[in-house]
Amino acid sequence: MSRFTRAKPTTATKRVPHLYDLVVTHRRSSDIRSFWWPAGAARIGKNAVLQRIVLGSSKALMLAAVRLPWPERLAGESTRPWPWEEQKEPAGEAVQPFVRITQYMAYDGLATLACSPHEYLLTATQNASGEVLVFRAADWEVAYQDECRPELRLSGEGGPSGLAWTESSSRLLAANPGGVTWWDIQTASATARFAAGREVTALAASSLGNTFIVGCSGGRLAWWDTRVQGLAPTGSCDTRHGPVRCAGFADAEPGSNQLATGSADGHLQTWDARQLRAPLCDLSWPGSACGGVGHVAWAPSGNRMLAAACGDGRVVLWDAAQSAETEPPISGSQWEPPEAKFVHGAHSGQDVCGLAWSRDCPWLLASAVREDLQFWRPAAALF
């Protein structure tokens, strides 16, 4: 079921007539464990776009078609006048949004997934044991498959700790608590094994560079430059905020080395991955036990705006580049950090299991809890 819904938000800015330009909610019976939102939106009318999203539940890997109202231009769309602009056609009827499962493959125990940024719908998954299964979902020819049929099965043990595609479409990193394996999916062979020295809890790789990073249970970060021979980390540091739960690179442009990490104590930090000495900024929501930061996602438009999902269900949009002097809160006041630009509170009290920005529709995000997938865009007046 998909419908427009009025979310229950909290926001640091209350001087606008409305908080959202768009909110679409899709509720389903099977629980969502992970999702990925690849680029590739298509315009299907003057006011509508169609996108694909990959969903992983406890029992299946699925492809869904998502229709959203979107009268604005997509990222990269031609600036030439549309035919209806030249003909001055009326606006037409409102677009009815929907999220529909178009293809389904049975898959017991899916834990996480990641789509390649280089090949459309090339999808890697990890199951509960840490085994890696790779699918070319764009080649699926039937709507329903009651048997799991991956293109590749790659060994793994100890449980899942994350997946990341590198700068090559054939190279995949898979993490388990004991370390990281670098797979060549063309030959189905492990080309290297990297040990972090601590229990691995997070993994991220730059899809435009040669760097990957792991976060560990003790708060340690270790990074590797794949151009450097050897299996030892190229560098490391301590976040000083306990276990690292998530990490993500800002891949808005080639050569970007900005990294974000989220910790179990609720701190969100950004780093220059070339020199992991001290964080560029350290952000947190004061006086709140947010349950840790479980997901981070950089806005595709640059290295500034950062979304972070907290364990209490909040999704906070942070301006990581803002360096304002912050006065200490007055006792009893509701103080909010100035770097926090928006708080999406519709998942309040639930564990967010996925977070992503659209690479096609500016300022549009998706977030999910087990039985609730939402697409939302904060009001432009807020920014």
What pairs with residue 221 in β-bridges?
Answer: 215, 237
The pLDDT value given to residue 361: 95
The pLDDT value given to residue 29: 57
The pLDDT value given to residue 287: 59
Distance CA 4, CA 7 (A): 9
Distance CA 297, CA 35 (A): 13
The pLDDT value given to residue 235: 87
Q: Residue 10 burial by CB count (10 A; 0-12/13-18/19+): exposed, middle or buried?
A: middle
Can you tell me the mean pLDDT for 69-78? Answer: 86
In tens, the pLDDT along 279-299 reads 999 999 875 557 899 999 999
Going by C-beta distance under 8 Å and a sequence separation of 6 or more, which residues neighbour residue 21?
Answer: 363, 377, 378, 379, 380
**Which of 32-36, 88-92, 93-97, 122-126 shows the lowest mean pLDDT across its residues?**
88-92
For the chain, the farthest-separated pair of C-alpha atoms sits apart, in whole angstroms, at 65
Residue 323 has pLDDT above 60, yes or no: no
The pLDDT value given to residue 11: 40
Residue 78 has pLDDT above 80, yes or no: no
Domain architecture of the chain: domains with CATH:
2-27+112-137+154-382 (2.130.10.10)
The pLDDT value given to residue 334: 53
Calculate the average pLDDT of the chain.
86
Classify residue 10 by its DSSP letter: B
In tens, the pLDDT along 98-113 reads 999 999 999 999 999 9
| 319 and 305 Cβ atoms separated by less than 8 Å | yes
Residue 230 has pLDDT above 80, yes or no: no
The pLDDT value given to residue 253: 67
Residue 15 has pLDDT above 90, yes or no: no
Can you tell me the mean pLDDT for 160-176? Answer: 92
Q: Pick the more confident residue, 145 or 273.
A: 145
| 297 and 344 Cβ atoms separated by less than 8 Å | no
Share of the chain above pLDDT 90, in %: 64
The pLDDT value given to residue 205: 94
The pLDDT value given to residue 10: 41
Alpha helices in the chain (DSSP H): 83-86
In tens, the pLDDT along 234-251 reads 889 999 999 999 999 997
Reported confidence tier of residue 149, pLDDT bands at 50, 70, 90: very high
| 265 and 310 Cβ atoms separated by less than 8 Å | no
Distance CA 183, CA 165 (A): 10
Q: Residue 18 burial by CB count (10 A; 0-12/13-18/19+): exposed, middle or buried?
A: exposed
Q: Residue 183 burial by CB count (10 A; 0-12/13-18/19+): exposed, middle or buried?
A: buried
Write the DSSP string, 189-254. EEEEEE--SS-EEEEEE-TTSSEEEEEETTSEEEEEETTS-SSS-SEEEE-SSSSEEEEEE--SST
Reported confidence tier of residue 325, pLDDT bands at 50, 70, 90: very low
Distance CA 315, CA 307 (A): 7
Residue 138 φ/ψ, nearest 5 degrees:
-65, -20
In tens, the pLDDT along 174-208 reads 999 999 999 999 999 999 999 888 899 999 998 87
Reported confidence tier of residue 227, pLDDT bands at 50, 70, 90: confident
* Cα 73 to Cα 68, 99, 202, distances in angstroms: 13, 21, 35
Can you tell me the mean pLDDT for 41-51? Answer: 94
Residue 66 has pLDDT above 90, yes or no: yes
In tens, the pLDDT along 326-379 reads 454 554 445 578 899 999 999 988 999 999 999 999 999 999 998 899 999 999
